[in-house]
A and B are shown apart, each in its own frame.
Chain A
Amino acid sequence: MDLAHREVAVDKEHDAAGRRTGRSGRGGLGGWARGGWGSWVRLGLMAGPVAFFAVFFGYPVAAIVGRGLREGGQWQLGRIGQVLSDPDILQVLWFTLWQAAASTALTLALALPGAYVFARFDFPGKRLLRAVVTVPFVLPTVVVGSAFLALAGRGGVLDAWWGVRLDTSVWAILLAHVFFNYAVVVRTVGGLWSQLDPRQEEAARVLGAGRLAAWRRVTLPALAPSVAAAALIVFLFTFTSFGVIQVLGGPRYATLEVEIYRQTATLLDLPTAAVLTLVQFAAVAALLAVHAWSLRKRETALSLVPAEHTARRPSGAGQWALLCSVLGVMVLLTVAPLLVLMVRAFDGPEGWGLAFFRALGAQQQDSATFVVAPVEAIGNSLAYAAVATAIALVVGGLAAAALTRRAGRLVRGLDALLMLPLGTSAVTVGFGFLVALDEPPLDLRSSWILVPLAQALVGVPFVIRTMLPVLRAVDVRLREAAAVLGASPLRAWGEVDFPLVRRALLVAAGFAFTVSLGEFGATVFIARPDTPTLPVAVARMLGRAGESNYGQAMALSTILMLVCAGVLLALERVRTDGQGEL
């Protein structure tokens, strides 16, 4: 998610570095361009991540797409035209587009006030709330879907109180998307907003501009790029939405990603699935390209100040009312579904209590549904996520190090390439693993390592986005000074770079960890039955009849939620300086 505001931070730190060193904010090629070595080192660093993605992403996806488009050794490119002129497919494309646009608009409309409030006001519980609104983002979609049904579905809380039901309407989908992506906007836009110098707007007011005019002329232009970046990211995530649509969409609504799943897993129509996968690739690549372009456009110097100087306690009834109403919306949208979920977890057959939680620990007596007690899924999840985090840190860290210096198109292209897994259907990756990694030395189909590998694919982009700005901000001259003073390159790295990036490394690890914990789409195909992860165990329980299973699913979801919230809260503490967004 933080693809975007990390870059905001980059540009800003770059500017700072530029001002300090008297170089332009854009440059910074100095130390590397000197010898031909720079590019070689960069290539060397990039080799690891590229190999990783080639083997565990490119190859499997190419294998499954190739299986679809090649028949008897001949490329069947005619299929592309055939599929794309099918009216049903066109309808799916149209729905995918408009729901993504509508979700993005709705998310911006509801979350921008939230970004403002977080940026400009100080209030008790701010840090906790910031962590809590981010929890939905890392929750698996099955959990979000059922939380939404429990809130707004038939017999849900809203139905019982006011007779409001959204279970089969498109509103349920849009609101669930807001719920998911609220944090993206709050963090991306709010992060920048909190560091915009309010005195500029004040100056405009003094010079006679009305409040609205001052905001429109001063603040809005400064914010616009980060709003655009957030919008693009939300659009990307809603464009590729899967779980939410599966649970809430009913038979009427299908996105491209849902259709790919249906064509692959249900109909085994690989040619159609392959064409749709290519379409989605093209769309995602275009979005990422626009995103990268808008980032470059954004490299204008902004006057930034530390966040703690801009936020203050609200004063006067008006500001309090604003704060309260915005927080009210936030709580209703993002906290209420989580609360409903927790309530159901504690509302046992014999009244309130821990009955469902206790049931999780019990070995299911006479069933092999779970070969292990569900509670062990927690241990599995933590272990998998830890391995996935380690892989993501190594791969993402290397990539970030290689990308540190602004470089040519090739490297930038690699940067975008590493983000593609975020926009690729999990069923494509999952089935691709099955088809591609089936022969020695890479017969990994029944190996446990597949799970952390799939999770790491999703974690790497987050690691890169977190590490990159911080690595870029390290002043080359510090390193050079260390070298002049006689430090070996290793020592210079240990003494100069490492202390500066340590915190970013922690944050990156935290994010990779929570994202891995919540990964569901690919894991469900490859997790072994004796070692299910938390989301897989939740999905399995939701798929089985009975109140006890439902309650246990909610209890497991609650545990997952608390773990994620804990990690996110810890990250809030780590990022104490104004710079680190996430």
Chain B
Amino acid sequence: MNTHARRAAAATTAVLTLALLATACGGSGGSGDSKSVTLVTHDSFAVSKSVLKDFEKRSGYKVHVLRGGDAGAAVNQAVLNKGNPQGDVFFGVDNTLLSRPLDQGVFTSYKAKGLDKVPQRLQADPDKHRVTPVDSGDVCVNYDRKWFADKKLDPPRTLEDLTEPRYKNLLVTEDAANSSPGLAFLLASVAESGEKGWQGYWKKLRRNGVEVAGSWEQAYYDRFTGSREGKGKGDKPLVVSYASSPPAEVMGVKNPPKEAPTGVAKGTCFQQTEYAGLLSGAKNPKGGKALLDFLLSKRFQEDLPLKMFVNPAREDARLPELFTKYGETVDKPATVPPEKIAEHREQWIKTWTSLTVK
């Protein structure tokens, strides 16, 4: 019996020791020391190693990157941890999700160097500078050039076109509840047809045979006829994707074609802007500020396009040839103010789901 008791005691001690050990280790990985700075972000964040190394060398800070799942999950974790954040800077909240962290006081003001080079239309918090625009991209309907050429059909250009009978059963979009381009496309229709009219638009789209896939990967790789990875197994020549998808189709191809195999319906676009901000309660605010400056520096901004397939926020950042040659510039992408999105998002998604899926 005593043995049992002793074993129990020993084991309890072991568990406690483990916990303590864990606590001890916990400190070393975080940003407790002023020589390191921690960037909290989502899974899609990417940067060239050499660019990051440069920053570390110049600033003297070691950069830790913490990823918290997809963009939505990462933002929500930051909201839950407000005031006692996991790191110093958060990158990757877009205009469809921005209101929540702003209202909750997740970010604290800092005007990053180079902000004057960012066009006004991307600035979401021009007075307080709690968030800094880092990149933007457009969600647009993409079309398969070859498919439309073979059928001698003009590709659609506007949202209204998509409801025409000649484009019946050609479009696949994504679940607005779970996919960010899916939500952006829904928002494009809200911007176009208004808060009341968008439901009528989707009824027409549904009658015209719009298909809803579970994720962007499934829509683009499995259903879209124009994607290289899909290897021709798809059946829909129209897909909701990004304005940067055509250059992505050409990247790494041995004999680059004259134009990208896919095109963008410019009248269907919704602008997504991604922001970064200094987290309230950051352990190393000084390092965080340096990191924000870095995210807006020309070096990082020019590295962005080929890493994350988005456009730099800085006007003076040079685009890679891949973008200038194969990309298309969207002049007037649709937008909806973040407050409006925050107010109605859930209701819109619910209504949308009942209109399209059920």
Contacts and interface: CB of A to CB of B under 8 A. Distances in A.
B316 to A, nearest CB: 23
Contacts of B11: 48, 394, 397-398
A439 B2 CA distance: 36
Interface in A33-55: 35, 37-38, 40-41, 44-45, 47-48, 51-52, 55
A439 B84 contact: yes
Interface in B311-356: 346, 350, 353, 356
B19 interface: yes
Nearest to B346: A267
A528 B69 CA distance: 11
B222 A167 contact: yes
B9 to A, nearest CB: 7
Given A251-B178, A434-B81, A438-B84, A394 B222 contact: no
Interface in A327-374: 365-369, 371
A524 interface: yes
Interface stretch (A184-192, A234-242, A258-266, A293-301): A258-266
A251 B43 contact: no
Given A48-B8, A251-B212, A448-B25, A369 B46 contact: yes
Would you list the 10 A-B pairs with minimal beta carbon distance, nearest first? Answer: A155-B233, A449-B22, A447-B26, A251-B175, A265-B73, A250-B214, A489-B3, A44-B8, A268-B76, A41-B4
Given A367-B46, A395-B15, A431-B77, A251 B177 contact: yes
Nearest to A447: B26
B48 interface: yes
A155 B231 contact: yes
A540 interface: yes
A368 B65 contact: yes
B72 interface: yes
Contacts of A252: 357
A525 interface: yes
B80 A434 contact: yes
B8 A371 contact: no
B191 interface: no
Interface string A98-135: 00000000000000000000000000000000000000
Interface string A451-477: 001000000000000000000000000
A525 B68 contact: yes
A499 interface: no
Nearest to A56: B19
Contact of A401 (B4, B22, B26, B217): B4
Given A51-B15, A391-B18, A529-B67, A368 B48 contact: yes
Contacts of A394: 11, 14-15
Which of B19, B26, B346 gathers most chain A CB within 10 Å?
Answer: B26
Contacts of A444: 22-23, 26
A47 B29 contact: no
Interface stretch (A174-182, A306-314, A510-518, A543-551): A543-551
B30 interface: yes
Contacts of A490: 3
Given A443-B23, A446-B66, A44 B222 contact: no
A154 interface: yes
Given A52-B15, A540-B43, A262 B177 contact: yes
B149 interface: no
A348 to B, nearest CB: 14
A318 interface: no
A394 B9 CA distance: 12
B65 A266 contact: no
B37 interface: no
B84 A431 contact: no
Contact of B23 (A40, A159, A442, A550): A442
B86 interface: yes
A153 interface: yes
Contact of A47 (B12, B50, B223): B12
A517 B100 CA distance: 36
Interface residues of B, number: 75
Interface string A134-159: 00000000000000010001110001
Nearest to B100: A268
Given A41-B8, A44-B9, A528-B29, A366 B48 contact: yes
A445 interface: yes
A547 B353 contact: no
A440 interface: yes
A266 B353 contact: no
B97 to A, nearest CB: 9
B175 A250 contact: yes
B125 interface: no
Contacts of B26: 443-447, 449
Interface of A: 35, 37-38, 40-41, 44-45, 47-48, 51-52, 55, 67, 88, 149, 153-155, 159, 167-168, 247, 249-252, 262, 264-269, 365-369, 371, 391, 394-395, 397-398, 401, 431, 434-435, 438-450, 453, 488-490, 493, 524-525, 528-530, 540, 542-543, 545-547, 550
Which of B14, B21, B67, B350 gathers most chain A CB within 10 Å?
Answer: B67
Given A252-B357, A268-B100, A401-B4, A447 B25 contact: yes
Nearest to B74: A265
A442 B212 CA distance: 44
B220 to A, nearest CB: 8
Contacts of B52: 368
A524 B64 CA distance: 17
A250 B38 CA distance: 35
A56 B311 CA distance: 43
B166 interface: no
Contacts of A88: 350
A524 B69 CA distance: 7
Contacts of B12: 47-48, 51
Contacts of B307: 367
Given A48-B15, A251-B175, A528 B66 contact: yes
16 contacts: A45-B4, A167-B218, A249-B214, A251-B213, A251-B357, A265-B76, A268-B76, A366-B49, A394-B15, A397-B11, A401-B4, A434-B77, A435-B80, A449-B18, A450-B22, A489-B1
Contact of B72 (A266, A448, A489): A266
A366 B38 CA distance: 21
Contacts of B230: 155
A371 B84 contact: no
Interface in B77-92: 77, 79-81, 84, 86
B253 to A, nearest CB: 12
B47 interface: yes
Interface string B36-73: 00100001101111101000000000001111111011
B210 interface: no
Given A47-B12, A52-B15, A449 B177 contact: no
Contact of A155 (B18, B29, B46, B222): B222
B7 interface: yes
Given A441-B23, A449-B26, A547-B228, 13 more contacts: A44-B9, A45-B4, A48-B11, A155-B231, A167-B218, A251-B212, A266-B177, A268-B100, A368-B47, A446-B26, A489-B1, A524-B69, A545-B248
Interface in B164-182: 175, 177-178
B229 interface: yes
